[in-house]
Structure 1
Amino acid sequence: MSVTTKWIDIESGDGTFGAYLAIPHTGKGPGIVLLQEIFGVNEHIRSVAEQYAADGYMVLVPDLFWRVGKHIELAYDDAGWKRAVELMNATDVAKALADIALTVAALKTQPGLEGKMAVIGYCFGGMLAYNTAANGLVDAAIAYYGGGIQNQLQRADEITVPLLMHFGAADKHIALDAVQSIAERFEDNDDVEVHVYPGAEHGFNCSHRSSYNQRAAAEAHGNSLTFLSDHL
């Protein structure tokens, strides 16, 4: 039996939004709430959810752009980038975090959910994963090239769960001095890891992008699996 997937509905005070559920072949496992890039719950993000489900986790991916349009999927071309930035700028972060809290609650009710729960986010979702950890909603958190975390270090003391952050050394969107400021802020916290991958650009984990870096993606995924096995 392979990974199974489906969309489920989650009720909020503003209406109903969808979330993509990926279930391991065993039908059970620890939980992961996976947070999209600015391109929506597109083919790439669904494939990442399925990868983690294949690794034995129950994965739920909320559609964070649903207030603008449901199931928006964008490509990584110029038109996709333009629309993605518009959607990100139009997103109310507080409402997105509230949606994530509802997603955490929804995953807890899924048959087969066993043990603890983590959040994993990419790009815009990486920043949201950091804040979700600060909000105390999960047992561990992973942020891939989370843009803007360096501007939210006032929340660092609110991070009381293990946190793993991945950055690319060649990321043109997140400068190395920003990564350094993050690493320095958490240097006394043994539960926080910061990994920087040489030659990796923004979006290095995404095989649909020209910036895909197979070695960095493989190393980061291995580091993530080790981290998850240690803390979930």
Structure 2
Amino acid sequence: MTKMTVSCPDGAFSAYLALPTKTPAPAILVIQEIFGVNRVMRDICDNLAAQGYIACCPDLFWRIEPEVDITDKTEAEWNKAFELFGKFDPDKGTEDLKATLASLRDHPASTGKVGSVGYCLGGKMAFLMAARSDADCNVSYYGVGLDELLGEAGSISKPLLMHMASEDQFVPKDAQVKIREGLKGHPNVTLHVYEGNDHAFAREGGAHYDAQAAAAANARTAAFFKQQLS
């Protein structure tokens, strides 16, 4: 596995890149949590490459602090993660993701089809990619702040798969209701709620990891990508 450099109007940033053994292949843009491009994100990329996809996770915090790579294991790391999250500009981040998506479409190993999948902060960004980019499909795992973005739902023209945790400590119950009601009947959105699960239920090794819920969500995601990107 390797890194690639993505250029944008503001400069350039790095991205972790995992290639499958057989190319050309469709690509998946993996969107980080608040812990940077860490081992969890790199492992997701590697697993997607093993499934036959080009997988790429760009450094969205590069304007604040390049090459952030922390875990969810200590209070100090959580504090740093929330500090970075507070300084992060979602609009700039969306532009960085769109630049990465364009690079993946043009990659010599790519078929030209590109989807995205994001977790936590990345789940929010995957929603924004569905509304603001030409990605072929998008997947959002327990996205945060989506209740404030429902005004953009009308711009979602490609398939969006969403995974929501019913007990998500970062998405209050009233926000969950707004999200479900705001997206109800949307022809391009499929929303699954995982009852009894908390935020980051699919993060292996995390405090709220639930193997059964993670397996269900990941199976749905795998089938979704196979259908949309083949």
**TM-score (structure 1 length as normaliser):** 0.94
Instruction: Describe the SS at the equivalent of 1:167.
Output: strand
* Residue 16 (structure 1) shift: 1.7
Q: How far apart, in 2, do the equivalents of 1:204 and 1:28 lie? A: 33
Q: 1:183 Cα shift?
A: 2.0
Q: Indicate if the aligned counterparts of 1:119 and 1:140 stay in contact, CA closer than 8 A.
A: yes
Q: Counterparts of 1:50-61 in structure 2 under 5 Å? A: 50-61=46-57
Pick from 6, 14, 17: which aligns with 1:18?
Answer: 14
Aligned to 1:144: 141
Percent identity among equivalent residues?
Answer: 36
Tell me the amino acid that sits aligned with residue 10 of structure 2: D
Q: Does 1:135 align with 2:112?
A: no
Q: How far apart, in 1, do the equivalents of 2:91 and 2:27 lie?
A: 23
In the other structure, the counterpart of 2:171 is 174
Out of 97, 121, 126, the residue aligned to residue 123 of structure 2 is 126
- Unmatched runs of 5 consecutive residues or more in structure 1: none
Residue 41 of structure 2 aligns with an amino acid whose one-letter code is I
Partner of 1:71: 67
Q: Specify the alignment match of 1:87 in structure 2.
A: 84
Q: Name the structure 2 match of 1:160.
A: 157
- Counterpart check, 1:7 vs 2:38: no
Alignment partner of 1:60: what SS?
strand
Could you tell me how far 1:199 is from its partner in structure 2?
A: 2.3
TM-superposed CA distance for 1:111, in Å, is: 1.8
Residue 43 of structure 2 corresponds to residue 42 of structure 1:
no
SS in 2 for 1:68: coil
| 1:207 and 2:207 correspond | no
The CA distance in 2 between the partners of 1:118 and 1:225, in whole Å, is: 12
Counting matched residue pairs gives: 228
Q: What letter matches 2:216 in structure 1?
A: E
- Separation in 1, partners of 2:136, 2:177: 25
**Are the structure 2 counterparts of residues 190 and 13 from structure 1 closer, same or farther at C-alpha, using a change threshold of 3 Å?**
closer
User: How far apart are the structure 1 equivalents of 2:174 and 2:213?
Assistant: 20
Contact 2:106 2:112 in 1 (8 A): no
CA distance in 1, matches of 2:183, 2:40: 31
> What is the RMSD of the two structures over their aligned residues, measured on CA atoms?
1.3
Residue 187 of structure 2 aligns to a residue whose secondary structure is coil
Q: What is the CA distance between 1:147 and its match in structure 2?
A: 0.1
Contact 1:136 1:160 in 2 (8 A): no
The Cα offsets for residues 79-138 of structure 1, whole Å up to 9 and x where unpaired, read as 111101110111122211111111011111212211521111110111111111101320
Match of 1:107 in 2: 104
Separation in 2, partners of 1:116, 1:177: 36
- Counterpart of 1:62 (choices 58, 62, 68) is 58
Structure 2 residue runs of 5 or longer lacking an equivalent are: none
